[in-house]
Every structure is written in structure tokens, then in C-alpha cells.
Amino acid sequence: MVLYPWQPTSAVSDQDLRFPTLMKQPQTMLDKVWDDHVVRSAPGEPDLLYVDMHLIHEVTSPQAFESLALSGRRVRRPDLSMATVDHGIPTVGRELGISDPLSRHQIEALEQNCEEHGITLFGVDDLRQGIVHIIGPEQGLTQPGMFIVCGDSHTSTHGAFGALAIGIGTSEVEHVLATQTLPRAKPGSLAVTVDGDLPLGVTAKDVILGIIREIGVNGGHETVIEYRGSTITGLSMAGRMTVCNMSIEAGAVAGMIAPDDTTFAYLEGRPYVPTGGLWEEMVAYWETIPSDADAVFDREVVIDTTGLEPFVSWGVNPAQVVEVTGRVPSPDSFDDPLERDSARRALEYMDLEPGTAMTDIGIDRVFFGSCTNARIEDLRAGAEVIQGRTVHPDVGAMVVPGSGLVKLQAEEEGLDRIYKEAGFEWRDAGCSMCLAMNDDILSPGERCASTSNRNYEGRQGRGGRTHLMSPQMAVAAAIAGHLVDVRAWQ
């Protein structure tokens, strides 16, 4: 059961004056969430921010715990920390133990560290184990207005709830363990407004890939992006998480979406969400978080969804995408010399010729998973594409649910049967081939349709070639054996 450490304050205290409802100046959501977490502020120094939730996994934490021990320090707030194993864990044959000695050692180190410091761990055998950014929201640990950190760049996912959520390195993981705070200079604000209905077959993944193509992989540099507009508010929480997840792919510090009734309905009744009077109080607070109508952003980008198509990537960064009906671009079509150089190198690595129709690109593998697209809604959407069809005989395809609970839910709905009968492998939860730290890895030269977030060189295996796309598009590609416009099937 949830025990809140905070005591109710009496009447109106000085503390309450920090709260947005009493503020005069119009504020962005970033301003409000930021201000509510400032522990200490001094001229010429970064603000010291209080961390509400620290998510921990096995790959970026062992050195942090080691340094903590060497300096004789303890974890300040183990009750505000939560750990799971995801990056290196196998997705098949777990009952036989973890055969990779290095990964096993990392996982054991996390188990020992959590045990020693009293940190809750959703471990290897826990049904709640899964990708850290899937399980936070799933458990109701992720809540609006929080400041959330994790030693992982896709921490931006949690911003879908109106939380400020940022990825940090291992030294800062140690800092948060020791102090429950993080010093940060306040980033700028970028409003990305997306308006319009999503055309059939076009998903949240296509929205964020389109945004990244528009603003570039460095377009969010030193800013927190607030996604807003009718397209964004029309998305489910799963879709909003997909959008915020890839904020880091636009170079942003974080991404945020204002909490609303969709957010509250998603959260109500989840294990770590309070009930009764406290729930009412929290919702009342959360309703104050969205940006004021007249709030001013440092920069704004407007995107219209009219004519938006499913995107697929052709290159080695997530801005190198094109509509599925499009063709591999020529490097000469880029004005900027650095972009031209990037495109030339990308095509060489991807072994693609300019002018090739995207739908003529054959594939060897399909990876359906990752913190971007492995929630139950994604698995449902992918299964709908199948309609009795089977995976192309030359393609190896796997579905890796985002958590043990997503997997269980899918099995209760019979989705596992649909995938397995179609010829997909049905795996256990983990990061898997998104970054290929376990045995789920491409061989050199293999080409993969992937629902993940990064098409970097070698990301899914040395010499492997990744094409990013939505779950629906990846399932269709698995069946067709090449990239395909899923809209023709719907």
C-alpha cells in the first residue's frame, strides 16, 4: 500500500505560495513543474531540484552504487527509488538462468544493491518486471507534476503524464542516490503544436518521426518540448508515451504533454496511485499543471497532420525518414554539407541506392518491442493487421512485450496466439533488440523493420540495418517480406 511521507500542511503556508494557482505571471507547464521542485536557488548557480522518483536498471547503476559505497554514503530515499532489470536480460529461456556471465553479474549486482539499500526491485522472476519506461506508468508510479530521473535517455517517455522526466548518466545516478536531488540550469521551452485528425493507418510513431524530420535530431537542443494541439490531446496515453519517448531523438532535454482527463482515467486505480480524498487532492493539483493559455514559449513549431503518411527511416538517425510512399533520397538533395555528408555515409551503411522506392526494400528481420512501442495498445494494433496472414518465409520476426504484465494481458486477450500462429516469436519482456545487449541481435548485413527508436549504425547489431516504423507497419513488413504501406491493408 502507498504511504505518503508528506504531512498535510496547515492552512496556507509559505510553501503554498509556490503553487501555480497563486502565481500571477503566465507560466508554461515546465515553469510550474520546475518551480515546484526547487530546493535551493541562488544567482549564478543551477537550481537544485528535488527528485520524486528515481528509476534504476542494471546497466547504468553498478558504478554509481560502487562510488556511493566507496564514499561511505547511503541512499537518501530508497522509498523514492524503484529498480528493474531490462537492458541485458534474455527474452527467451529465462527459466534456465542467464547464460551470459557479464549480464548475469550486472543483474546480480543490482539485486545486491537493492537488497542492501532497501530499494524495491521488480526482478527477473517478478511478473511486474519489464522495460523501466513501460512499468513506471503501468504501475502508476509515474504521475503528473513529478520530477523523474533515470540513467537512461528514454526517460523522456514519462513526460506524457505532465511530468518532467530526464535521462542522466551514472555519476548523476550516484548524485540522486546520495542526495535525492539534481542540480540543473533551467532549459528553454519549445512548443510543438500538432493539429488535425490522424489519417487512417497513421500513428503516434509517425507523428513523432514527422516532428523529428521537421526539426532535426538536434532541433530540441537545450529545450524541453511541450507537445500540444488537437492531435496530441486526441492520443491515448500509449500514443502520448510514444511521442514523448523520442524527444531525446530530437536532442531535447525532455518532452511533456499536459495532463488531462485521459491521463487521470489512465492512472485511476493503478497500484501506486492513491485513492479517496488524497486522489481528489492530487487531481486538483494536477489540473493546475498545464501551461497557462497566455504562456510564452521560447520557440514554437506548428505541424499539420493533413496528408500525414506513415514514415519509415532510410538512414542512420531518426530524422532520416521518408513517407512510405516515397523514395530513398539522393545525398545531393540536401543543401547543408553536413547533412549531405551524413546522407552519403548513411546510404553506404544502409546499402541503399537513391531513388529506390521504400516499398521495394526487402527485409530479413522484424523487431516489435522497445519502450517506444511495446505497450498493450501497440500489441493490439499490430495483431489487427495480421487477419490470418503469416510471416514471410524469409523473415524472422519477434514480438517482445514491454513488461510481464503487458505479456500477460496480451495472452489473456489471445494476442499471443494470433502472433504465434502467424509465425512471430513470442518473447519475455525486456529491451531486447532495441539495443541488442542480449542475444536478440542482427547479424552483419541483416535488414530489420523495427518499432524501436534508434536506427544508428550497429545499434541492433554490428552491420545490421534498421528501418524505424510503427507497429502496424512492422507487422505488415513481416508478412510482405519488404517495407509496405499498411494503409492498403486497412
Partner 1 sequence: MKPVSVVEGQMVPLPHANIDTDQIIPKQFLKGVKRTGLGPNLFYDWAHDEEGEVVSGFVLNRPEYAEAAVLVAGPNFGCGSSREHAVWSLADAGFEAILAPSFGPILENNCYQNGLLPVVLADDDAEEFAKLAADPANSVTIDLPAQRVSSGDFTASFEIDPHVKERLLNGWDQVDITLQSVADIDTYESSRPRFMPALG
Window 376-435: residues binding partner 1 (CB under 8 A): 435
For helices 404-412 and 376-386, angle between their N-to-C axes, nearest 10 degrees? 40
Q: How far, in Å, CA of 29 to CA of 162, rounded?
A: 8
17 lies in the site for partner 1, by CB under 8 A: no
- Among 429, 436, 468, 480, the residue binding partner 1 under the rule CB under 8 A is 436
The footprint of partner 1 on residues 346-375 (CB under 8 A) is none
Q: Which of 146, 202, 400, 448 binds partner 1 (CB under 8 A)?
A: 146
> Which residues face 84 on adjacent strands?
122
Residue 49 and residue 261: Cα distance in Å, rounded? 28
Region of 140-148, 190-198, 297-305, 326-334 interacting with partner 1 (CB under 8 A): 140-148
Should residue 102 be labelled a site residue for partner 1 when binding is judged by CB under 8 A? yes
> Which one of the spans 9-17, 199-207, 235-243, 420-428 is the region binding partner 1 (CB under 8 A)?
9-17
Using the contact rule CB under 8 A, the part of the chain among 124-132, 225-233, 321-329, 455-463 near partner 1 is 455-463
C-beta of 217: minimal distance to partner 1 in Å?
A: 5
Q: Give the C-alpha separation, 49 to 146, whole Å.
A: 11
Q: Among 60, 257, 31, which Cα is nearest to 153's?
A: 60
Could you tell me the smallest distance in angstroms from the CB atom of residue 73 to partner 1? 8
Instruction: Please name which of 47, 25, 310, 323 lies closest in space to residue 164, comparing C-alpha atoms.
Output: 47
Please report how close the Cβ of residue 95 comes to partner 1 at its closest, in angstroms: 22
Selected range binding partner 1 among 334-342, 361-369, 376-384, 406-414, rule: CB under 8 A: 334-342
Report if residue 82 touches partner 1, rule: CB under 8 A: yes
Stretch that binds partner 1, among 147-155, 294-302, 361-369, 471-479 (CB under 8 A): 147-155
Residue of 103, 203, 432, 451 that binds partner 1 (CB under 8 A)? 103
CA atoms within 13 A on the CB side of 214: 17
Report in angstroms the alpha-carbon separations of 222 from 32, 185, 321, 378, 423: 18, 10, 23, 31, 44
Which of residues 196, 199, 326, 458 is near partner 1 by CB under 8 A? 458
Which helix (H) or strand (E) covers residue 466, if one does? strand 465-468
**Would you put residue 276 in left (φ > 0), alpha (ψ -120 to 50) or beta?**
left
Among 317, 403, 432, 450, binds partner 1 (CB under 8 A): 317
Is 186 an interacting residue with respect to partner 1 (CB under 8 A)?
no
Which parts of 287-363 fold into alpha helices (H)? 337-350
Q: How many CB atoms are located within 10 Å of the residue 445 CB?
A: 12
Asked if 143 is part of the footprint of partner 1 (rule: CB under 8 A), the reply reads yes
Residues 274-310 as b or e (16 or more Cβ within 10 Å = b): beeeeeeebbebbebbbbbeebebeeebebebeebbb
Decide if residue 175 touches partner 1 (CB under 8 A). Answer: yes
Instruction: Work out whether 53 is an interface residue with partner 1 (CB under 8 A).
Output: yes
CA nearest neighbour of 304 among 230, 357, 221: 230
Figure out which of the listed residues 4, 25, 276, 388 binds partner 1, where binding follows CB under 8 A. Answer: 4
- Contact range with partner 1 by CB under 8 A, out of 21-29, 66-74, 235-243, 362-370: 66-74
Structural element, H or E, at residue 311: strand 311-313
Residue 8 vs 388, nearer CB to partner 1: 8
Contact 191, 301 (CB under 8 A): yes
Complete DSSP assignment for 117-164: HT-EEE-TT-TT-B-HHHHHHHHT---TT-EEEESSGGGGGGGGGT-E
d(CA 312, CA 450): 10
- Using the contact rule CB under 8 A, the part of the chain among 7-15, 291-299, 360-368, 413-421 near partner 1 is 7-15
The answer to whether 189 contacts partner 1 (rule: CB under 8 A) is: no
Please say whether the beta carbons of 166 and 122 come within 8 A. Answer: no
Q: Interface mask (CB under 8 A) for partner 1, residues 202-231, using x and -?
A: ---------------xx--xx---------
Residue 245 binds to partner 1 (criterion: CB under 8 A):
no
**Binding to partner 1 (CB under 8 A): which residues in 256-285?**
272, 278, 281-282, 284-285
Phi, psi of 380 (to 5 degrees): -65, -45
Pick the closer one to partner 1 by CB: 417 or 462. 462
- Of 268 and 281, nearer to partner 1 (C-beta) is 281
Report the residue number, 5 or 307, with the smaller CB distance to partner 1.
5
Which residue, 13 or 25, has its beta carbon nearer to partner 1?
13
Contact 320, 476 (CB under 8 A): no
* Of 235-243, 355-363, 436-444, 467-475: span binding partner 1 (CB under 8 A): 436-444
Instruction: Give yes or no for residue 331 binding partner 1 (CB under 8 A).
Output: no
For residues 256 and 150, give the distance between their C-alpha atoms in angstroms, rounded to a whole number. Answer: 16
User: Could you tell me if 258 and 28 are in contact, meaning their C-beta atoms sit under 8 angstroms apart?
Assistant: no
Between 43 and 355, whose beta carbon lies closer to partner 1? 43
Q: How many residues does the chain have?
A: 490
Q: How far is the CB of 303 from partner 1 (least distance, A)?
A: 21
Query: Within 281-310, which residues bind partner 1 (CB under 8 A)?
Result: 281-282, 284-285
